[in-house]
Chains A and B, each alone.
Chain A
Amino acid sequence: MRDGVPEELKPKVVIIRTAGTNCDYETRFALEKVGASVDLIHINQLVKEKGLLDLYQMAVLPGGFTYGDDIAAGKVLANQLRYHLLEDLLRFVAEEKLIVGICNGFQVLVKMGLLPGMSGLHASRGELEQTFTLTYNDSNKFEDRWVYVKAFSNKSVFIEKDTILYIPVAHAEGKFIERDEETLDLLFQSGQIVFKYVDKEGNESGYPWNPNGSVGNIAGVCDPTGRILGIMPHPERYIEPTQHPRWTREGLKDEGDGMVIFRRAVDYMREKMWKEKRVVGKR
């Protein structure tokens, strides 16, 4: 209880890790900073101990190169989740808990069909249909650079519309593309496009502002409920003021832009805990 709050009163978050996960340290740091209690758990353990996931209110699939991004980025972990943890995950979603996939985690969620999940995911495995993909950047290179992303929707619990975040991308396969025009139109209408890449002035623009060539400059999407978020850039890499690439010019801010996403997640979970307690109390 580093911040004075007893662990048991903190919202509990699980960072799901496996071979090749690698942004767990800074993701955990960000979550703990906004008051969450965080466990890092290997996928093997979640698969072995069914129900373990139920102990948490939020699950994070962090950045990295799970299974080396061999075959395609996120593909192998996506299958592992679909074939071995789906029931637990669907129950998690049904209980209105939160899921965030960052970078590689976003790739996983898209490839298992959980995002954008327009056809609904309440039923069986068969309905988890992959309608979009994240593929090679137009530059055909891994690129680490800072980008501006703007929230275009109020649908996601993680962000408020019109917020602009300055955070870095670091990926080779981040180009978000659609299966067909119909799905893309649906996505545009649904309000599930949470983040778009924009330029310094907040306008949609080309490379390098859109670092990978994503259709519609899409940087992040949510599911129809707004409780599952996938985002290509790394909010957990701009928590501390010294992480900004130009802090020596522009001065140290109070906190990094990425904080808002984690703080809103924790706020949501606290409120939910409080509501659930009240319901229990009334009984």
Chain B
Amino acid sequence: MESRIEVFTNKKFADVLGNEAKNEIENIGITSVEEIRIVQIYLIDSNLSEEEIRCICKELLTDKLTQEYVFFHGISERESSGQKKDEENVSYSIDVIRKRGVMDPVESTVMKGVKDLGLHVNSVKTARRFLVTGVLTLEQIETIANKILSNRIIEDVFINKDTKFPGNGKGVIDSVFRKNTIEILAVDDTQLRSVSESRQLSLSLPEMKAVQRHFEGLGRNPTDVELETIAQTWSEHCMHKTLKGLIEFDGEDIDDLLANTIMKVTKELKKPWCVSVFKDNAGIIEFDEEYNICFKVETHNHPSAIEPYGGANTGLGGVIRDTLGTGLGAKPILNTDVFCFGPLDVPQKDVPDGVLHPRRSFKGVVSGVRDYGNRMGIPTANGAIYFDERYLYNPLVYCGNVGLIPKDKCEKKSHKGDLILLVGGRTGRDGIHGATFSSIGLTQESEVVSGGSVQIGNPIMEKKIADALLVARDRGLYNNITDCGAGGLSSAIGEMGEELGVIVDLEKVPLKYEGLNYSEIWISEAQERMILSVPPENVKEFESIFEQEDVEAVFIGKFTGDKMLRLRYKGEIVADLEMGFLHKGCPRIKRRAISRSPCYNEEPKISKKTDYGKDLKKILSSWNVCSKEWVIRQYDHEVQGGSVLKPLQGVDNDGPGDACVVRPLLSSKKGIIVSNGMNPKYGDIDAYHMAASAIDEALRQIISVGGTLKRVALLDNFSWGNIDKPEYLGDLVRAAKGCYDTALYYETPFISGKDSLHNEFKLGDRTISIPHSLLISALCVMPDVTKAVSMDLKEPGNLLYILGETKAELGGSHYYQIHGFTGNTVPKVDTTIGKRVMDSLGSAMGKGLVRSCHDCSEGGLAVASAEMSFAGGYGVELNLSSVPVDEGVSADDVILFSESNSRFIVEVRPQNRQEFERIVRSIPHGCIGRVLENDLFTVFSRSRECLISEKIYDLKKAWQSTLSL
């Protein structure tokens, strides 16, 4: 019998979630909503009596103080707890329920809670009802339902219906087992293409022909699951076939761009502390005598574009599983997240159909990351957010995770005879074709055709896996592990079994619901699953550890040693592929790349002013520079207790820190520093210098907080437009070369990376590409965290220095941006000077001579020193005449706002002046001012005129008021 339980907030209490929804509705311009109250609905299928259902309502589902309930048991009965639900004045009700198969972790929690009460229910489904009061048109209510309250990709919406929700529908989508073969032998090119397209394989014609040839040799057609496996394995997402393929670049033949640039840095530097690079789920470097540290950052752009919460949620969940699946399993200790959105104040009318408003994407992504990270108990202590109009159509979500791993657990290898165990969540139709979907562009229809590839995560399941896994790891119970990510079992088992060969019985995979065919089981991207290679003698102990944590661990196959990938379903062989062909058979593609004709944007002439205070405030309040406190506080950045430098710093704990410093082990003073660098605006001018600047920026942040270049590892993450366009690919080649030159000189090896190469949006016949977006993430090992330096000014009377040379480099700067220009003079990196600056500063910090330090990045010297000033709560007086400049610099605004690389503002005590100056004497430096006991931020020009005189609280207000949602 089905019961419907409705739980709602007692009228005495504010409905905070309802108020939040009302607020969002006002933001899209609908102001006539008076009130929204939310009803939480539970649909329970059980054989329980009315009394027992009432017990569930009272004891489990309602807060005794703040909530009320009504329930409908069977058809007619209705029971209420105290005051009646007051629906008479409600104008509309909107019911939102997750589509069948979409993850809802609450359902299993309710099942568990009911079991604790000593009762049993067959199934639970949840829904929400929004009771909306106010004078609204039906059109408005539909807008509210679709734009604010639900996402049709994952949810069904019913307006003003006393909905009889669809039941759980067991078996409704059942399919009959039939082994399918696909005709590709006797077909022509057009038909081959159409097989690829109609089955969403995303394979090119040459690739399809390679498959055809292979099966001609075998004298048979492939089965559907064989084709799927090949498509998953050969996808850009899994194989990086562009960056590892052949590229003809302006007449130069590049065989494997990654090997010739990014990976070459590492090879040439030969750092002994690089433990595992570019082969495992994450790169590993040495930490101390007992432990190593691993780091990985991934993109999850396309899913986040169409379902921001779920996309970001599973993006972070996925990269955490990378850490869990690195070596024999690392403990996740830190998250870092970088997002790119359209400006949040875009009018709704400028947002095309099929695209979510950036405010919605932003809030969804932040909540998705928050809920996964916080629930996993992993601090999110570092990140960045960038805004640009072009991200409106295709926002970017980078999620990163750092892990701690014992030194003797970094290598893994399956043995012949090992059993394949699948642990974690159950398998459903989630995310079918995610790997291939991510390898094509978005269109207005993406949200329709790609709905299946969007999922919601279950962080508690992943936490349980992590808890069990680390116990099993320490007892040495398995030989190999990897996570199920894009491509699901297909990729995980396909990769793990490459050397040995495997046989898998697909019917053994535990399913969320009946009805999946064998192909769907094999390629489903259901979250929170991992694959392990367990020697038969350990299986019992292994299973009991997982059972203790309430996690399923199921034996589904075996490593055979015959180098074949064999899949069986109910005893019948449905795939029989050579591992060699699967992993090496993909024809290498040759792409053409050209360097863009040099881009000559007009170099603007901005007339001289007598007061730059307004410009400074405008930059401080711009989307990219403004305070991100609204986001940062929603992340638990202190769980696990390791935080040493938090993201918010200063006298009121609200200034913008550079990099975060974390102690992975509370018993040791050794720490790690994590930072990110990215400058999409520079890429509009020159991708090479954009890449160099991103590395310089990430390293500057490391140095700013007390790190040194001695032990820094880098990650690259390319998010690019359509690389079928030779000039886009040319820019990518130049960016990779920029990475090579810069990282090699700074002696900072790359240890891992990722790429996402089809970030464009088709709007009618127009194509909008994202800006070139190369994210560089840096990880530094710090011997003593008590030497860390924060960015807030510390004491009046101290001296302020600038280190590094200021050049006329306003191209792509925020100063140009607020005046509506891009310009052409992009900041370049002079690695020779840059390295000397960073090394000198590092040694001054090591001697304890630096009280505060901030790097000059967005907004240049003016913004960096203003931030230091208001974070510390002290005024400053600066003289531009002492700033070391390049001979091309002629104007004060250039000195104020140029974004030249490798520069730092440093606070030094007067008594340390001599010693500090001795250390920096051979690099460009200048003592540019002092910290004052007052609240004035004052800057004098080279001719001693006052250029800026602002109260620090006004500057802080400008910086803080933009992002308060």
Checking B60, B634, B666 against A79 with a beta-carbon cut-off of 8 angstroms, the contacting residue is B60
CB atoms of A248 and B788 under 8 A apart? yes
A42 near B786 (CB under 8 angstroms)?
no
> Across the interface, do A136 and B16 meet the contact criterion of CB distance under 8 Å?
yes
B377 A22 Cβ-Cβ under 8 A: yes
Bound Cα distance A137, B16 (Å): 9
- The 8 A CB mask of A2-35 against B (1 = contact, 0 = none) is 0000000000000000011111011001000000
Q: Name the distance in Å between A208's Cβ and chain B's nearest Cβ.
A: 9
Q: How far is the CB of B638 from chain A (nearest CB, A)?
A: 5
Q: Which of B767-793 contact A (CB under 8 A)?
A: 785-786, 788-790, 792
Q: In the bound complex, how far is the Cα of B109 from the Cα of A239, in angstroms?
A: 34
Contact A63 B639 (CB under 8 A): yes
B556 contacts the other chain (CB 8 A): no
Q: How far is the CA of A248 from the CA of B789 in the complex (A)?
A: 7
Query: Is A217 on the interface with B (CB-CB < 8 A)?
Result: no
- B663 proximal to A (CB < 8 A): yes
B548 with A44: CB separation less than 8 A: yes
Cα distance A178–B786 in the bound complex, in angstroms: 44
Partner of B60, one of A23, A75, A143, A178: A75
Q: Cβ of B65: which chain A residues have Cβ within 8 Å of it?
A: 130, 132-133, 135, 177-179
Taking CB atoms, residues of chain A closer than 8 Å to B548 are 42, 44-45
Beta-carbon contacts of B543-554 to A below 8 Å, as 1s and 0s?
Answer: 000001110000
A153–B109 CA distance with the chains assembled, in angstroms? 38
Q: CB < 8 Å: which of B64, B632, B651, B789 contacts A133?
A: B64
Q: Mark A40-54, 1 if CB is under 8 A from B, else 0.
A: 001011000000000
The answer to whether A23 touches B639, judged by C-beta atoms less than 8 angstroms apart, is yes
Give, as a whole number of angstroms, the nearest-CB distance from A62 to chain B. 10
Q: Verify if A93 is at the interface (C-beta below 8 Å from B).
A: no
Question: For A63, what are the chain B residues with a Cβ–Cβ distance below 8 Å?
Answer: 639
Mark the stretch among B243-251, B352-360, B458-466, B747-755 that contacts chain A.
Answer: B458-466
* Residues in chain A near residue B788, CB distance under 8 A: 242, 248
Q: Is the CB of B109 within 8 A of A71?
A: yes
The answer for the CA separation of A29 and B641 in the assembled complex, in Å, is 9
Contact among A65, A111, A135 for B374, CB-based, below 8 A: A65
**Contact call A71/B370, Cβ cutoff below 8 A:** no
Verify B641–A237 contact, CB threshold 8 A. yes
Q: Write out the residue numbers on chain B whose beta carbons fall within 8 Å of the beta carbon of A67.
A: 109, 112-113, 460
Residues of A216-260 whose CB lies within 8 A of B: 234, 236-237, 239-240, 242-243, 245-246, 248-249, 252
CA distance A154 to B164 in the complex (A): 56
- Docked Cα-Cα span, A80 to B105, in Å, equals 18
Q: Counting CB contacts under 8 A, is A142 at the interface?
A: yes
Most buried by A among B118, B375, B789: B375
User: B443 at the A/B interface (Cβ < 8 Å)?
Assistant: no
A273 touches B (CB below 8 Å): no
Q: Within the complex, what minimum Cβ distance (angstroms) separates B584 from chain A?
A: 42
Contact A140 B64 (CB under 8 A): no
**Cα distance, A45 to B110, chains bound together (Å):** 21
Selected from A20, A83, A145, A177, the residue in CB contact (under 8 A) with B633 is A145
| Chain B residues in 8 Å Cβ range of A234 | 638
B634 and A135 within 8 A (CB): no
| Chain B residues near A237 (CB-CB < 8 A) | 638-639, 641
Residue of B nearest to A72 (CB): B63
The answer to the question of A275 belonging to the interface, with a C-beta cut-off of 8 Å to chain B, is: no
Distance in angstroms between the alpha carbons of A177 and B9 in the assembled complex: 14
Choose one: B464, B633, B641, B648; the contact of A141 (CB below 8 Å): B633
Give the residue name and chain of the A residue nearest to B705 (CB): A248
Given A22-B463, A140-B19, A242-B663, are A70 and B637 neighbors across the interface (CB < 8 Å)?
no
Contact of A68 among B109, B640, B789 (CB under 8 A): B109
Say yes or no: is B194 at the interface (Cβ < 8 Å to chain A): no
Residues from chain B with Cβ under 8 Å of A140 in the complex:
16-17, 19-20
Assembled-state Cα–Cα distance A137/B17 (Å): 11
A141's nearest neighbour on chain B, judged by CB, is: B634
A246 to B657, CA, bound (A): 12
Q: CA A138 – CA B650 in complex, angstroms?
A: 26
Interface string of A59-91 (1 = CB under 8 A from B): 000011101111110011001100110000000
B-side contacts of A19, CB under 8 Å:
460, 463-464, 549-550
Given known contacts A25-B640, A144-B638, is B790 in contact with A71 (CB within 8 Å)? no
User: With A133-B65, A170-B639 given, is the CB distance from A245 to B653 under 8 Å?
Assistant: yes
**CB contact list, B73-89 vs A, under 8 A:** none
Decide yes or no: A239 and B641 within 8 Å by CB, A130-B65, A145-B633 being known contacts.
yes
Size bracket of the B interface: 35 or more
Q: What is the distance, in angstroms, from A235's C-beta to the closest C-beta of chain B?
A: 11
Q: Smallest distance from the beta carbon of A183 to chain B beta carbons, Å?
A: 10
Closest to A63 in B: B639
Q: Is there an interface contact between A22 and B790, defined as CB atoms closer than 8 Å?
A: no
Min Cβ gap A180→B in Å is: 9
The verdict on A144 contacting B16 (CB below 8 Å), with A67-B460, A72-B63, A245-B646 known, is: no
**CA separation between A121 and B667, bound complex, in Å?**
39
Contact residues in A for B460 (Cβ distance below 8 Å): 19-20, 65, 67-68
- Asked if B109 contacts A252 (CB within 8 A), the reply is no
Contact B375 A142 (CB under 8 A): no
In the complex, A146 has a CB within 8 A of chain B: yes
Kindly list chain A residues whose C-beta atoms are within 8 Å of the C-beta of B16: 136-138, 140
Q: How far is the CA of A19 from the CA of B369 in the complex (A)?
A: 19
Shortest CB distance A106–B (Å): 15
Minimal beta-carbon separation of A167 from chain B (angstroms)? 10
Q: Does B589 contact A (CB under 8 A)?
A: no
* Residues in A whose Cβ lies below 8 Å from that of B712: none
B645 within 8 A of A: yes
**Are A26 and B666 in contact, with the CB atoms below 8 A?**
yes
Residues on B with beta carbons closer than 8 Å to the beta carbon of A245:
646, 648-649, 653
Q: Judging by beta carbons under 8 Å apart, are B66 and A177 in contact?
A: yes
Quote the shortest CB–CB distance from B469 to chain A (angstroms).
Answer: 14
Give complex CA distance A267, B113 in Å: 37
Bits for A95-137, please: 1 = Cβ < 8 Å to B, else 0.
0000000000000000100000000000000000010110111
- A19-B463, A44-B550 known; A79 vs B639 contact (CB < 8 Å): no
A239 — which chain B residues lie within 8 A by C-beta?
641, 666
* Any B CB within 8 A of the CB of A174: no
Q: Does B945 contact A (CB under 8 A)?
A: no
Known: A133-B64, A141-B633. A76 touches B786 (CB 8 A): no
A102 to B113, CA, bound (A): 22
Interface presence of B600 (CB below 8 A): no
Decide if B106 is an interface residue (CB 8 Å cutoff): yes
- CB of B229 within 8 Å of the partner chain: no
A23-B639, A68-B105, A248-B789 known; A144 vs B633 contact (CB < 8 Å): yes
Task: Give the residue name and chain of the B residue nearest to A17 (CB).
Answer: B467
- Complex CA gap A222/B282 in Å reads 46
Query: Closest 4 A-B residue pairs measured CB to CB?
Result: A22-B377, A26-B641, A70-B109, A248-B790
Mark B residues whose CB is within 8 Å of A. Answer: 13, 16-17, 19-20, 59-61, 63-66, 105-106, 109-110, 112-113, 116-118, 370, 374-377, 458-460, 463-464, 548-550, 632-641, 643-646, 648-651, 653, 663, 666-667, 785-786, 788-790, 792, 794, 852, 872
Q: Show 21 A/B contacts (Cβ-Cβ < 8 Å), sorted by A.
A: A65-B374, A67-B113, A69-B375, A71-B113, A84-B116, A135-B66, A136-B17, A140-B16, A140-B17, A140-B20, A142-B633, A142-B636, A145-B633, A168-B638, A234-B638, A245-B649, A246-B651, A248-B789, A248-B790, A249-B650, A249-B792
Known interface pairs A65-B459, A246-B649; 19 further A-B residue pairs with C-beta atoms within 8 A, sorted by A's residue number: A20-B463, A20-B464, A22-B377, A22-B639, A26-B666, A65-B375, A67-B460, A68-B109, A75-B63, A76-B113, A79-B116, A130-B65, A136-B16, A140-B17, A178-B65, A239-B666, A240-B663, A242-B786, A242-B788
* A contact set with B: CB distance below 8 Å: 19-23, 25-26, 29, 42, 44-45, 63-65, 67-72, 75-76, 79-80, 83-84, 111, 130, 132-133, 135-138, 140-146, 168, 170, 177-179, 234, 236-237, 239-240, 242-243, 245-246, 248-249, 252
